[in-house]
Structure 1
Amino acid sequence: MMDAVNTKHIYKAAFLITGIISLAACRKDLLVTVPTDRISTGIYWKTDVDATNAANAVYTYMDGVNLVFWDGLSDIGHFNTTGAAFAPIDQGVADAQNGEFAAQYTTCYKGINAVNNFMANVDRITVTNATLVNSRRGEVRALRAYFYLKLAGWFGAVPLVTSNITIDEGTQLTRTDVATIYDYIGKELDTAATLLPNTQTDKGRITKGAALALKARAMLYAGRYTEAAAAAKAVMDLNVYSLYPAYKQLFTYAAENNSEVIMDKQFVKDIYSNNIFSSMAAASLASSVAQVVPTKQGADEFEMANGKAITDPASGFDPYHPYDNRDPRLHYSIYTPGDTLVNGKVYNPIPGSGTADAIGGGNLYATTTGYNVRKYINPEDLSAPGNSGINIIIIRYPEVLLTYAEAKIELNQLDQSVYDAINQVRARPDVNMPPIAAGQSQAQLRAAVRHERTVELEFEGLHTFDIRRWKTAETIYPGPIKGITYVKGGVLTTVVNSSFIRSFNPQRDYLWPIPQQEIILNKNLVQNPNW
C-alpha cells in the first residue's frame, strides 16, 4: 500500500530496473561491452538503493485489473463481449493457443526470473542497512511464491525454477509435480515472513502479514488445512489488521490503505495508472465496454437481510422487488436496476428503457445481463476513465478469517472460533447480517463459509479458483448466461443469453493447458490431460 509519493518513485525505478532484470538473464559470455542504452550489471548491485530498485521491479508483475476479469470465468460473472480473448475460455471452447493462457504463464515466469536475478546478485552489494536489505529479500521471495501459487492454481504441475538459467537450460525443463510446488511455496513464505516487518513505511510493500496470508491461501488451495488454519491464525494474532467499518467504501479512494488491506497493487493517476473504470463501468459512465458483468447466479447468492436465502419460502423475497431488503453487500458490489450511479443518475438496464445501459438497446457497450460491477467504480475517474489511480486489492483480512474458518471446518474442528471468524465478517457495521447459528453440522458450515466467501469477495479474483478447488464448477458453471428478472407485459421475465452457452469438461477444465508455444519450444513439457 504505497502512498502516492512513494509509489511515484518506486515505479519510476521499477521501469528503469526492468532492463537490468532482462539483461541479467543473458549468458555472461555475451556481455562483452558495457551497454549505453541501459544499466549494466557490471556497474549495478553496489548499494542498498540498488537492492530496493531491483525489488521494486518485481512488483510490476503483480496482478491488477485482471483480478476482476478472473471472476468472469465463474458462475458469478460473464465476459460481456465475445471479442475478448477470455470469452472462448468462458465458453469452454478455447485451445492451448489462446493468448490469455500464454499471458498468465509468461507474466508469472517473468516475475520469477526477476526474483531469481535479484537473489543471484543481492549479495554483491555493500550493505549499510541490513534490516532494509533483508526486508527486500523477504518481499521478492514472497512475490516469487505468489507467482508460483498462480501457476499451480491455473496449470497444476509447472517447471520449478529457483535460480537464473540459460536459454538452453530453459528448453530442457520438465514439470514439477504440484505437491512439490506447494511445498516450495510454503517454505518460501515461511522464510519471507522471518525477514519481513509487520508494517512498512512505503505502503504497498509486502509485509509479514502478507507473507503469512499468502501461505494461508496457498495451503487452503493445496488442501493442507492444518497449515492453512495455522497461517491464518498467525495473521490474526499479529493484531495488525481489522475490518474496516464501511464495506460500501472499501473500494474507494477515501479508503485506500485501510485497516483490512493486507496486500494490494498501488496505482497513481498519470504516473502508474490502471483502466479499471473504462474496463468495468456501466456503459452510461464510460465509452468502453464493461469486460465482465455479474450474472443472475452472482446476484441471487446474496441473502435477504434476515439471513435467509431468497429461495427460502420464509425469506420474504419479493420477485417483483428483487433487490429490496437484501444483504447490503449486494448493492455495494453490484449495480442492480434502480441503483444510483456515480454520476448521480439512475441505473436502468431494463430492455426498452432507452438508456445507454439498456439490454439489447443497440449500445454495444451495454451489459448483457442487466448488472454491472460496482467495486472500484469511483466518481473521481469519470473525467478520465482510462487513467484510474485506485489501488487494486489482492488480499483483505476477511479472506484470512474465512480461510481460517474453512480450514477448521474441513478438519471437522467445529469450535467456537469457526463461528466467530465467519460472524465477524457478517457483523461489519454497514453489513450487519445475522450471525451463523451455533450447533451446525460440518456440511452446513461448509455451505455457510462457501457462501460467505462468494458474497464477501465477489469480483476480487478468488471465486474462479474456489469453484475449481471445490470441484463444483462442473455443476454450477455450464449453460446459458442468465441476468435480471423484470416485469414485461405484467409477466416476470428473466434475461437469458442463449447465444452464449458455457461448457465445462471436468476431465479437462479444472486446469488450463500449458501454452502451446511452450510445448513447441520445449519437448520435455507434457500437456495437461485432454488439451
Structure 2
Amino acid sequence: MRTYIINTIFLLSFLGYMSCDDYLDRQPLNNPSDGTFLSTEVELNMAVAGCYIGLWSEYQVFPLHLSFDAVTDIGFERNGSGLQAVGRSDHDARTDYIVQVWKNLYSAISKCNYVVTNMDRGTGNINADVMATARAEVRFLRSLYYHYLIELYGDVPLITSPLSLSDSESPRTPKKDIVDFIIEELEESVPDLPVQNDPESGRATQGAALTLMSRVALYNERWDVAINAAQRVMALEGEEYIINPSYMDLFQYAGEDSKEIIFSVQYLENAKTHSLFRLFGSRLARAHTNKKPTYQLTDTWECVDGLQIDESPLFDPQNPYENRDPRLGFTLAVSGSTYLGFQYETHGDSLMCWNYNLDPARRVPNLEATHAYATFTGVGWRKYADNLDKDAINNSELNTIIFRYAEVLLNYAEAKIEAGQIDNTVLEAINKVRQRESVNMPPITTMDQNELRNAVRRERKYEFAGEGLRLFDIRRWRIAEDVMNLPVLGRMKRDYPSKPPRVDELGTAYYDDIPIAAPGESADFKMRLVERRSFDPSRDYLWPIPYIEMDTNEKMVQNPKY
C-alpha cells in the first residue's frame, strides 16, 4: 500500500543525494562516475521517488505545507521561533523559517531537474510509457514546488536544468512567466498521468495535476484556466472523486483511503513519520499543543441556521459551541468536548476531568486548566490528531492532505464568480461542500456576485482551516493587512463574553466591546491577550529572499523594504 515510500528510503542510501548545501541548483546530485545512471527502469523509479521526498519538507518537525496556517490570523506558534516571528511580522532575510522553506523547495526542484534532464539515458532500455509517466510525475512535482515559491516570495529564479558553478547566478523570473510555465508543464503532463485515483499510493494522477492547475490559475486570476481545469476533475466525480460523507474521517486514519483525497503526503514507520500528535494534541494526552488555533477562529463558523453568530437567535454566548456548523467541532477541540479520549475543558476552575481512555473512566488532574503552557488560546487543533497515535506521539504515520475534491469545487465556484459566469453550477459546487452528510449546512441560494464572493471566501475558511491554505487566501484577497493587524486572543479563563463579537462578511471576528486583558492583567473575566501582531502591506505580502542568496548571487534583487 505504501511501498513507494519505502522505495524512496532505498534511494537515500543508493544515491546519497538528499542533502543540498546550496539553495539554488548549483550541484544538485553526486552523479555516478560512469554517467549511466537513469538508464534502467529500476534506477528511474528510484530517482522519481527521490523527487517526492520534497513533500516531506518540514520546519522543526512540522510538515511544511501545514505550517503556513501558523503565520495567519487563524493560527499561533507558541514556541519562540522563526515561525512565531513571521506571524508577528518580525522576520527578515535571516529568519530561519523563511530560509528553510526556500532551501527545501529549491533542493526538491534540483532533484526534479536532474531527472528530467537525464532520464533520456534510458531510451531504448525502458518502456516508452513508463518513461512518459515518470517524466510527467516529476514535472508535476516541480510545478508544485514552484507554486509554493512564487506565492511566498513572488518573482524567483526559474531553474529547469542542473546548473554548473560557472552559470549558477540566476536572476529572478517574473511571477507571471512562472505561472505560464507551470500551467504549460501541467497541461503537457496530464495525458501521461494515470486517471485512476488511489489516495494511499502517493503518486501523481491526472486529477492531482489538474487540481494544481486550477489552484495556480485561481491564485493568479486566470479564471478561464481555473474553471476548465476544475471542470475536468469534476467530470470524474463519482468514478474517481467524491465528497466524503464524514468530514472528520478525512483527517484520521479511518479516512486515508477516501476518494475525496486527490493527493497526499505519505508516511510510514521506519521510513518517515511526523509529530503532529505532539504538536497539536492536548497536555492530557502527553502532547505539547505547540501549534494552536486562535480563539477568534471559534467565532468564525455560522450557526446551523446559516447565520453568523452575531445575527443568529440560536447563538448562546454562555454555550458558544452549541448549534454551530459541525465543522467547528470537527476542526477544533473546544471546551466541553471529548478530545483524544479526555474531557477537554479549559475553564480555570475545572481542576479535574475525565479520562475516558481508562475502563472504567476515571477523574484525573486537568492539565488543560492548570498547566502553564496548555491554554494559551483555550482551543486546540483536532485535525491530524488521531488517538491511534497516543503511544507514538512523535511517530505518526497519518498521511497529510495537499489536494482534496472539496478544493476543486470551491476553486471552480470562486473562478466562475470572479469571471462573472454565475449560474446554478456555482451554487451546486458550494453546496456540495456545505451539505456533505456530516455537515449539512443550509444551502447558499443568492446569485448576487458580491454576496457569492463573500460566501465562497467564508466557505474556504470553514472548510480548510488547519490545512495550510489560509496564508495564500488572505494574501490573494488582499485582506492580510486587515486580519493580521488584529491581536491573537485566548478565551476568558473563567467565563465567556456576555455577547458575541462582531463578525464581518468574511467571517472575521472583532471584539470591539468585549474586554481584553492588558499585558500582565488577569484574564479570568477578560479575553486573554496572547500576542500583538502587525502587518505592513507595503512589505509583508511577500517574504524576503534569504540572505545567502543575496550574498552569493549578484543578479538577485531583494523584495521591497527588506
TM-score (norm 2): 0.87
Aligned equivalents of 1:57, 1:356: Cα separation in 2: 45
Instruction: Output the CA distance in 2 between the equivalents of 1:268 and 1:40.
Output: 32
Superposition deviation, residue 459 in structure 1: 0.7
**Contact kept? 1:91, 1:503, Cα under 8 Å:** yes
1:316 and 2:314 matched: yes
Does the C-alpha gap of structure 1 residues 213 and 357 become closer, same or farther in structure 2, counting only changes over 3 Å?
farther
The aligned counterpart of 1:87 is: 84
- 2:50 maps to a residue whose letter is A
SS in 2 for 1:96: coil
Q: What CA distance in whole angstroms lies between the structure 2 residues aligned with 1:485 and 1:521?
A: 50
Q: Describe the shift of the 1:325–1:525 C-alpha distance in structure 2 as closer, same or farther (beyond 3 A).
A: same
What is the match of residue 41 of structure 2? Answer: 48
Q: For the Cα contact (< 8 Å) 1:280–1:292, is it kept in 2?
A: yes
Which runs of 5 or more residues in structure 1 are unaligned?
A: none
Write the distance in 1 (CA, Å) between the matches of 2:142 and 2:472: 19
Distance of aligned partners of 1:353 and 1:193 in 2 relative to their CA distance in 1, 3 Å threshold: same
- Aligned pair partner of 1:400 in 408, 415, 426: 408
What is the CA–CA distance in structure 1 between the aligned matches of 2:497 and 2:35, rounded to whole Å? 76
- Aligned residue for 2:456? 449
Deviation at 1:363, TM superposition (A): 3.0
The 5 A counterparts of 1:143-222 are: 143-170=141-168, 172-199=169-196, 203-222=201-220
1:372 counterpart = 2:380: yes
Cα separation, partners in 2 of 1:413 and 1:174, compared to 1, 3 Å: same
User: Closer, same or farther in 2 for the Cα pair 1:226/1:489, shift >3 Å?
Assistant: closer
- Summarize the Cα distance change of 1:273–1:22 in structure 2 as closer, same or farther, 3 Å threshold: closer
Task: Tell me whether 489-498 or 372-381 shows the greater mean CA deviation.
Answer: 489-498
Runs of at least 4 residues of structure 1 off by over 6 A?
Answer: 25-28, 489-494
Does 2:355 match 1:358? no
The answer on whether the counterparts of 1:69 and 1:291 sit within 8 Å (CA) in structure 2 is no
Query: Contact conserved, 2:347 with 2:494, CA < 8 A, in 1?
Result: no
Q: Match for residue 508 of structure 2? A: none
Q: Is the 8 A contact 2:317 2:497 kept in 1?
A: no
> Deviations 1:31-50 (Å, cap 9, x if unpaired)?
9xxx9xx9556352221111
Show the counterpart of 2:360.
none
Give the corresponding residue for 2:9: 12
User: 1:423 — aligned with what?
Assistant: 431
Q: Structure 1 residues 49 and 370 mapped into 2: Cα distance closer, same or farther (>3 Å)?
A: same
Q: Return closer, same or farther for 1:18/1:462 CA change in 2, 3 Å cut-off.
A: farther
Counterpart of 1:58?
Answer: 51
- Contact 1:334/1:373 (<8 A) preserved: yes
8 Å contact kept, 1:508–1:529: yes
Native 8 Å contact 2:280 2:380 kept in 1: yes
Distance in 1, matches of 2:170 and 2:272, equals: 35
Q: Which position in structure 2 is the counterpart of 1:230?
A: 228
Question: Is the 1:54–1:118 contact (alpha carbons within 8 Å) kept by the matching residues of 2?
Answer: yes
CA contact (8 A) 2:157 2:173 kept: yes
Deviation for aligned residue 1:168: 3.1
The whole-number CA distance in structure 2 between the counterparts of 1:362 and 1:352 is: 13
- Kept in 1, the 8 Å contact 2:64–2:101? The answer is no
Q: Which amino acid aligns with 1:358?
A: E
Query: How far apart are 1:465 and its partner, in Å?
Result: 0.7
**Structure 2 residue 502 is matched with structure 1 residue 508:** no
Distance 1:263 1:40 in 2: 36
- Answering whether residue 345 of structure 2 is matched by residue 348 of structure 1, we say yes
CA separation of 1:357/1:75 partners in 2, compared to 1, >3 Å: closer, same or farther?
Answer: farther
Quote how far apart the aligned CAs of 1:499 are: 5.7
Evaluate the alpha carbon distance shift between residue 70 and residue 426 of structure 1 in structure 2; reply closer, same or farther with a 3 A threshold: same
1: distance between equivalents of 2:408 and 2:496? 47
**TM-aligned CA distance change 1:230 to 1:105, over 3 Å:** same
1:293 aligns with: 292
Question: Could you say which residue in structure 2 is the equivalent of 1:468?
Answer: 475
- Mean CA deviation greater in 244-253 or 463-472: 244-253
Equivalent position of 2:442 in the other structure: 434
1:99 and 2:82 matched = no
State the 1:21 CA deviation: 6.8
Residue 194 to residue 274, structure 1, CA distance change in 2 (3 Å): same
Which residue of structure 2 aligns with residue 332 of structure 1? 330
Aligned AA (2:411): T
User: Cα RMSD over matched residues?
Assistant: 2.3
Displacement after TM superposition at 1:238 (Å)? 2.7
Contact conserved, 2:4 with 2:49, CA < 8 A, in 1?
no
Contact map agreement 2:109 2:142 (CA 8 A) in 1: yes
- Once the two structures are overlaid, the 10-residue window that deviates more, 442-451 or 491-500, is 491-500
SS state at 2:529 partner: strand
1:329 and 1:168, CA in 2 relative to 1: closer, same or farther beyond 3 A?
same
Taking the aligned partners of 1:487 and 1:496, their CA distance within structure 2 comes to: 10
Whole-Å separation in 2 of the counterparts to 1:529 and 1:27: 30
Q: Counterpart of 1:479?
A: 486
Q: State the one-letter code of the partner of 1:112.
A: I
Alpha carbons 1:142, 1:192 under 8 Å: kept: yes
Name the CA shift for 1:410/1:296 in 2 (closer, same or farther; >3 Å).
same
% identical aligned pairs: 36
Relative to structure 1, the CA distance from residue 505 to residue 210 in structure 2 (aligned partners, 3 Å threshold; closer, same or farther) is: same
Change (3 A) 1:106 1:339: same
Alpha-carbon distance in structure 1 between the residues aligned to 2:553 and 2:252: 45
Instruction: Please list every run of 5 or more consecutive structure 2 residues that lacks an aligned counterpart in the other structure.
Output: 58-62, 352-364, 500-523
Tell me, what secondary structure is at the counterpart of 1:461? Answer: coil
Distance 1:413 1:41 in 2: 57
**Aligned residue for 2:134?**
136
Shift, 1:63, TM fit:
5.0
Q: For the Cα contact (< 8 Å) 2:295–2:378, is it kept in 1?
A: no
* Residue 384 in structure 1 maps to residue 383 in structure 2: no
Is the CA contact (8 Å cut-off) linking 1:277 and 1:286 kept in structure 2? Answer: no
What SS does the corresponding residue of 2:55 show, helix, strand or coil?
Answer: coil
Matches within 5 A, 1:91-130: 91-125=88-122, 126-130=124-128
Which position in structure 1 is the counterpart of 2:266?
266
Task: Name the structure, 1 or 2, with higher relative contact order (CA <8 Å, separation 6+).
Answer: 1
In structure 1, distance between residues paired with 2:328 and 2:338:
14
Deviation, 1:8, is: 4.6
Q: 1:228 to 1:63 in 2, by over 3 A?
A: farther
**Pair 1:137–1:489, CA change in 2 (3 A):** closer
